[in-house]
Structure 1
Amino acid sequence: MVIPVIAYYAVMSVLAYVTYAVDKKAAIHRRRRVRERTLHLLGVLGGWPGALLAQQQLRHKTRKTAFLVGFWLSVVLNLACVWWLIFQLGII
């Protein structure tokens, strides 16, 4: 049961990383951006490790305090859901 969870987090992390990269490129070229709520949703759904890596490697979304608060709240929410699945439902 652990392998599918790891695979899920890997897929979501790649998706989040790519989405951050697309948003960074859009910001550079002054094009339409990815909504912040979309980035946060990816974090809640398990993509936060990839999002964190993208923030550091791409130097994207690292200065806006309101965004960072939302990002870390999405991490906490995701981890709380995983904890609940593990300990309350016996899943994973």
Structure 2
Amino acid sequence: MEMIVVYIIGVNAITFMLMAADKRKAKKQAYRIPERTFWGLAILGGAVGVWAGMKTFRHKTKHRSFTFGMPVLIITQAVLSVFMIFMS
């Protein structure tokens, strides 16, 4: 169980930092981090990091797939986590 918590914290921290980096790149009009990277990390447990990055850096907030999809993914992952905890 400890390893899962460490993993979730780690993937969310990395995702949050990538959101900050992508926002900096957007301001400089430099090469950007692909959206599929953020979605992949979110699916792997980093959805909270994406959501926090969106709110903190005001980044990807005009993308409907992010503003609607990330909360849905967070709720889905939370429900699955609770289910797995109580089923073990």
TM-score by length of 2: 0.78
Aligned equivalent of 1:31: 30
Q: Judge conservation of contact 1:43–1:78 (CA < 8 Å) in 2.
A: no
Which residue number corresponds to residue 61 of structure 1? 60
Aligned equivalents of 1:78, 1:44: Cα separation in 2: 9
CA distance in 2, matches of 1:66, 1:36: 10
- Deviation per CA, 1:25-67: give whole Å up to 9, x if none: 1111111111111101111111112221111111111122133
Aligned residues: CA RMSD: 2.0
* Mapping for residues 2-17 of structure 1, pairs under 5 Å: 3-17=2-16
Q: Which consecutive segments of 4 or more residues in structure 1 shift more than 2 A?
A: 66-88
Residue equivalent to 1:19: 18
The corresponding residue for 1:48 is 47
Q: Which has the higher helix share?
A: 2
- Show structure 1 runs of 5+ residues with no match: none
| Conserved? CA contact 2:51–2:71, under 8 Å | no
Structure 2, unaligned runs of 5 or more: none
Task: Tell me the matched-pair count.
Answer: 88
